A = this chain, B = another copy of it.
Amino acid sequence: MKKNIITISREFGSGGHSIAQTVAEKLGVPYYDKALVEQVAKESGFDPEYIENQGEYTSSFPFFRLSGDSVPGAMNGMNADDYLWCIQRQTILNLAEKGPCIIVGRCADFILKERTDALHVFICADKAYRKERIVERYGETAQKPEQRLHQKDKQRRAYYRYYTDREWGAPQNYGLCLNSSVIGEESCVAIIAGLTK
């Protein structure tokens, strides 16, 4: 079965985001990251910033924001995180139904695990590489790069475990796991794109 739908999970700072974007350009298929957040915002009434933060990270605070009055008091007794999970899950299922695409993060590998036309990829990288990359990309912050990596990865791992009951980054959950700092971003792109043929 041809693999037309690609999900890309990634460690923070591993370059997974730009690898996904380049693969999408190379294959001429849509790429969902920000676009997915916007769609979930529209459907859920949540603020895009909230979705960005809570849509794949565990909460630091039991706090949430809504954008205006579009949530019709109809979260069916669920808390905000679980409600967001449901909307996000349905959005991902719908996007995959529409045809070939690349979806970044948000447990899409788990959500689409029954689709035999989906290829699930995990991108990781050595810590030194990731530390350098996040400072270069997102600048310095009060928090040390090491701590920033640790926190983001920890939250993504916890979110993934909570909603999927699986281990984030365990190779058995993916078609392939690539270490971008070892084989290079270009090789990652070539390998992923090559497997869709």
Contacts and interface: CB of A to CB of B under 8 A. Distances in A.
Interface in A179-197: 179, 182-183, 187, 190-191, 194-195
A78 B179 CA distance: 36
Dominant secondary structure at the A interface: mixed
Contacts of A171: 122, 124, 169, 171, 177-179
A20 to B, nearest CB: 17
A24 interface: no
Contacts of A195: 183, 187
Interface residues of A, number: 22
Contacts of A175: 178-179, 182-183
A172 interface: yes
A71 interface: no
Given A124-B171, A169-B170, A169-B171, A179 B176 contact: yes
